[in-house]
Structure 1
Amino acid sequence: MSRLARPAGRIASGSAVIAGRLAAHAAAWVRRGRRDDLTGWRAALGCWARLVVLALGGYLLWRLIRAFPNLLWLLTGTWIITAWRAGKQAPYEAPQTTDEEGPAGGDVDALRGTLLDLMGNGSGVHLRTVLAHLQEHGQWEGRTVTDLRLRLQHLGVPHDPKVKVAGVPTWGVRRRDLQAPAPDSVPETSTASSTAV
């Protein structure tokens, strides 16, 4: 079993990389369907249409495999070869950020200030808006909303999957959550007891 462990691990890590890339490309393609010249549910119609196209494509692929089961051997072989090549690279890890990479790097106060600025007079901001803002300023290139979520979690900034902005709920940060005490203000005894658990 030990002889098979390394190749199996390489294929598994490569499969995770490929699945992550496909999901990121699909999410980016769906996101590009949102119209900035409209508001509310009308702005998201393009996203919903692209989701329907993806679902239809998955259904047609399933029907094709049902009609020609031997096609699954070709798809499986292609996936294994691609995963083997992708697994040669280092295992996927969430990108580490530094203070030089802007407000999302490590300074919680700077990040909170950026989030509040992006909210303006609103009650919240979507993470995709925050990511787009960072990328417009040459930061966080090639990163995804998931990477930003992981960074916010690491910094202790509350975020939620149901933040509504312009009537559309998705991952974002609420103003009332930012006004709560920062994690740095929590006494060290409480953090020590929580880590002990």
Structure 2
Amino acid sequence: MTRLARTADRVATGSQIAIRRVAARAAAWCARGRRDDLTGMKAVLGCWLRLALLALGGYLLWRLVRAVPNLMWFFTVGWLVASWRAGRKAPASSADTPAAPPADHTPEDVRTAILEWIWQRIGEAQGVHLRDLLAHAHAHGMFQDLDVAALRTHLERWQIPVRARVRVRGQGVTVGIHRDDLQLPATASPSDPSQEEQKTQLHPV
């Protein structure tokens, strides 16, 4: 493959990744408008409002480009740069992506990798919503065949507690994982009895 062909392939691949990321983040942002403390149409009004704002933003952008066609050069260059960066091959263990266990992983390795990923997404918050976990995974090309219900089933199969109502500041209340239900990341030495006890508790059925 020539250098030009490799460049084109990287841009094309990165463009697909960038589109998925933008779509996943837009969907997650709209989904956060749902009010789980309400029912019926009132509960989803926030979602429809956010969707309308996205549509309005797209329309205004289109009108702006129609009025100033030269802006297309700016947007084109910006998209090419974003696609080039997205197409760069990143290590599978990147801190910004769900941890991928090695090929010879054990069930405990899988559960530990999932917990590490969840803790990364929780950060300093009280918890994380499953819809946001899934949007993050989709943005990185993982768990594409799962929806929120299927993700919950998988997490519960790995004995990771899921609550029907988790409040995250600025994101409302919906199904998610609360930090109080998780074991803290292990920091003790291998000879520490507390760590051995933690391993026993984390071992899946």
Q: Report the TM-score when normalising by structure 2.
A: 0.48
| Equivalent-residue separation in structure 1 for 2:131 and 2:25 (angstroms) | 19
**1:97-176 paired onto structure 2 within 5 Å:** 99-100=107-108, 101=110, 132=130, 142-144=136-138, 147-148=142-143, 150-151=145-146
- The equivalent of 1:65 in structure 2 is 65
Q: Quick check: 1:13–1:91 contact (8 Å CA) kept in 2?
A: no
Q: Distance in 2 between matches of 1:133 and 1:64?
A: 33
| Residue number in structure 2 paired with 1:9 | 9
Amino acid at match of 1:38: L
CA distance in 2, matches of 1:68, 1:141: 34
Counterpart in 1 of 2:41? Answer: 41
Which structure carries more relative contact order (alpha carbon 8 Å, separation 6+)? 2
RMSD: 3.7
Please name the residue that 1:18 is paired with. Answer: 18
2:29 is matched with which residue?
A: 29
Aligned residues between the structures: 121
TM-score, normalised by the number of residues in structure 1: 0.50
CA–CA separation in structure 2 for the residues paired with 1:134 and 1:63: 32
**1:2 Cα deviation from its structure 2 partner:** 3.6
Aligned residue for 1:173?
none
Identity of aligned residues (%): 50
The change in CA–CA distance for 1:42 and 1:9 in structure 2 (over 3 A counts) is same
Aligned counterparts of 1:134 and 1:88: Cα–Cα separation in 2 = 24
Shift of 1:143: 2.4
Superposed CA offset, 1:22-74 (max 9, x none): 11111111010000111122211110010000000000000000000000000
